[in-house]
Chain A
Amino acid sequence: MNQRISVVEKILDANDQIASENRAYLEAAGVFSLNLMASPGAGKTSLIEQTIKNLSRDVRLAVVDGDIATSLDADRAAAAGARAVQINTGGDCHLDAIMLRQALGQIDLCEVELLIVENVGNLICPANFQLGTCQNVLVASTPEGADKPYKYPGVYRGVDALVINKIDLLPYLDFDMAYFRRGVQILNPGVVTFPLSCRSGEGVEAWLEWIRESIRAFRARYGSNGMAKHVRD
């Protein structure tokens, strides 16, 4: 005789718990953090390069790079002037909270005010795995097409900010911005959106200003990273 017992437990609850620990750890260290998700080729690494180039004079920055096998992206971040840690997922299609925890152990967080995590290029899997960063950001790009919110609702639903990269290509594409934004609005009402081009630089300043403002708000709430402030002053 089978006996049915009620469970009602979230799958991936274990990952969510470690993500909470990561979040608490980063908050205690005074490190504001972003998890960048996107499809391959949307421009995550280019956006990170732009961000490093423009912010590294004022903000101490570190990058954690998730990739299936190579260190090309981490090399680009390091070349742009940030300390960079590479996580090779060994074929896994996403980063998870344990991988981030291990990477955090390799960074002297006293020296960091802004941590950018570059997730594996993929619109499906990363959305299911919280890492524990302060904010989740999706980098969309115009050549992908305007139907992506409809095809990958999970990742559009779960982010705190949306970058629309490669707007310099709009004159050459049939990208229906109104259709795209309608899908975004339904899945994620009021999400802050940054249309920009990493190539031309158009719109990038608004993105940078959002990061600066987010760091200020984070510090007001959790305190600043005392060591980093001391070093800079």
Chain B
Amino acid sequence: MHELTVTESILEIAVRHAREAGAARIAGIHLVLGELSSIVDDSVQFYWDMISENTLAEGAQLVFRRVPVELLCLSCAQRYSPSSVELACPSCGAVQVKIIAGEEFFVEAIDIQMEGSKEAK
């Protein structure tokens, strides 16, 4: 359910940056979501179609880049992606680990069209 708030935030960020760049239209939005961020792509897409209507971003394509969880074992320096039922290091069993990827939660870039370009309406 919090995907609505998340989607509103994405729209606000995209439109603000597009305006600053003087864009006529936003064609695409690139999102980076770590697996730890617990956001459902389909729900974001669902809300997106509703709330982007009549904005610079109407019809823009959402491109999701999912980043898997990656851990670094502080005992044996093994880098690994944990299974869904065990987080400890698969090599040495240690539990002293560092999370090095999977917490990303940001708008990476937007694709814009300028006034006068062929596709821009």
**Chain A contact residues, CB within 8 Å of chain B:** 1-15, 91-94, 96, 124-125, 127-129, 147, 149-154, 157, 182-183, 185-187, 189
What is the distance, in angstroms, from A127's C-beta to the closest C-beta of chain B? 7
- Cβ of B9 and Cβ of A11 under 8 Å apart? yes
What is the distance, in angstroms, from A178's C-beta to the closest C-beta of chain B? 11
Known contacts A124-B38, A128-B2, A182-B95: A11-B109 contact under CB 8 Å: no
B111 within 8 A of A: yes
What's the count of A-B pairs with C-beta under 8 Å? 115
- Cβ of A7 and Cβ of B95 under 8 Å apart? no
Per the bound structure, the CA–CA distance linking A150 and B84 in Å amounts to: 6
Per the bound structure, the CA–CA distance linking A5 and B39 in Å amounts to: 24
Main secondary structure of the interface of A (DSSP, over half): mixed
- Cβ of A187 and Cβ of B87 under 8 Å apart? yes
- Cβ of A3 and Cβ of B14 under 8 Å apart? no
B47 within 8 A of A: no
Interface string of B8-32 (1 = CB under 8 A from A): 0110111001000100000110010
Main secondary structure of the interface of B (DSSP, over half): mixed
Q: Which of A2, A12, A93, A186 contacts B9 (CB 8 A)?
A: A12
- Cβ of A11 and Cβ of B27 under 8 Å apart? no
Q: Which of B36, B96, B103, B105 contacts A11 (CB 8 A)?
A: B105
Q: Which residues of chain B are near A183, meaning CB under 8 Å?
A: 87
Q: Which residues of chain A are near B38, meaning CB under 8 Å?
A: 124-125, 127-128, 152, 154
Task: Give the 6 A-B residue pairs with the shortest CB-CB distance, closest first.
Answer: A125-B2, A2-B111, A93-B1, A186-B87, A185-B95, A7-B107
Q: Which residues of chain B are near A189, meaning CB under 8 Å?
A: 96
- Cβ of A157 and Cβ of B36 under 8 Å apart? yes
Known contacts A2-B113, A3-B114, A154-B38: A8-B2 contact under CB 8 Å: no
Q: Which residues of chain A are near B28, meaning CB under 8 Å?
A: 2
What is the distance, in angstroms, from A35's C-beta to the closest C-beta of chain B? 15
- Cβ of A10 and Cβ of B106 under 8 Å apart? yes
Considering only CB atoms, which chain B residue lies closest to A187 in the complex?
B87
Interface string of B53-97 (1 = CB under 8 A from A): 000000000000000010100000000000011111000000111
18 further A-B contacts with Cβ under 8 Å, apart from A94-B2, A128-B39, are: A2-B119, A4-B109, A6-B109, A7-B13, A7-B106, A8-B109, A9-B13, A9-B17, A11-B105, A12-B9, A13-B9, A15-B9, A92-B1, A124-B38, A182-B87, A182-B95, A186-B95, A187-B99
What is the distance, in angstroms, from B59's C-beta to the closest C-beta of chain A? 13
What is the distance, in angstroms, from A209's C-beta to the closest C-beta of chain B? 27
What is the distance, in angstroms, from A67's C-beta to the closest C-beta of chain B? 14
Q: Which residues of chain B are near A124, meaning CB under 8 Å?
A: 2, 38
Considering only CB atoms, which chain B residue lies closest to A14 in the complex?
B9
- Cβ of A157 and Cβ of B110 under 8 Å apart? no
Considering only CB atoms, which chain B residue lies closest to A94 in the complex?
B2
Q: Which of A11, A92, A93, A128 contacts B107 (CB 8 A)?
A: A11
B6 within 8 A of A: yes
Q: Which residues of chain B are near A4, meaning CB under 8 Å?
A: 109-112
Q: Which of A7, A96, A147 contacts B110 (CB 8 A)?
A: A7
What is the distance, in angstroms, from A95's C-beta to the closest C-beta of chain B? 11
Q: Which residues of chain B are near A182, meaning CB under 8 Å?
A: 87-88, 95
Q: Which residues of chain B are near A13, meaning CB under 8 Å?
A: 9, 13
